[in-house]
Amino acid sequence: MNNRKFKTAAAVTAIAAALGMSACSSEPAADEPGTSAGAEFEAGTKVEGTQEGAAPMTTTVPNLPAPTVEELNARLTKAMAGELTDEEKANLIEDAERDPKLVDKFVEAAKKNNVEAEITSVGTPADGKVKAPADVTIDGRPVEGATVEFVAADGGWRVSHVFTCNIVKAAELDSAACQE
C-alpha cells in the first residue's frame, strides 16, 4: 500500500510540473483566443505604410525675431481682454487648441482675481522661448519677481501655457491644457 501512495504522489507531482511548465511557456497556444495579434506584434510583423528604424519626427521651432516690449504687451493685453476670434485665441495662447475654452477661462480667471500684467523688458530668446520680466498684480498685490514666458509659434509669440495655467488655477478653474 505504501508503494501505491508513493506512485500516486509522484504522478500528481509530475502532472502539476507539466501543467506549470506549459503555463510558463513563452509560446502561446495557437488556439488561445486573442493571441494572434500579440504573437504578430511580438514577431515584429511589418505594418503596411510604416517605415522601420525611422527616427521620430521633430518639430522645428519657428525662427522669429526677438519680440519688443510693446509687441509682447499688446499680445498679453489682447489675450487678457477676451472677445477674440477662435483664430486669435489659437495665436495668442500656447496650447489653446488642447482646450477650446482655455482662453475664456484665462480671461475669466484674470477678471475674477483682478490680474494686471505689464511686460517691463524682454530676455534673449532661447530654444523658441523668451522670458519677459513683468509688473504683475493680483487683487492689487504685486507679485515679486514675476515673469511671463512666451513661446515661438506660427503666428508669432504666444503667451506660454505655464503662465496661462497659473492664472487659471489661481482662480480655481480647470482646463485640459493645464493637466500635469
Span 52-109, pLDDT tens digits: 555 544 556 777 889 999 999 998 998 888 878 888 888 889 988 888 889 999 999 9
Amino acid at 66: A
What angle, rounded to 10 degrees, do the helices at 161-170 and 102-112 form?
A: 50
pTM of the shown model: 0.64
Amino acid at 168: V
Query: What is the reported pLDDT for 52?
Result: 54
Give 71's strand partners: none
Residue with cell 528604424: 53
Domains belonging to the chain, first-starting first, are: 2-43 (no CATH), 69-178 (3.10.450)
CA 111 to chain centre: 27
Q: Pick the residue with more confidence: 10 or 85? A: 85
Categorize the per-residue pLDDT at 175 as very low, low, confident or very high, splitting at 50, 70 and 90.
Answer: confident
Residue with cell 502539476: 16
Phi, psi of 86 (to 5 degrees): -60, -40
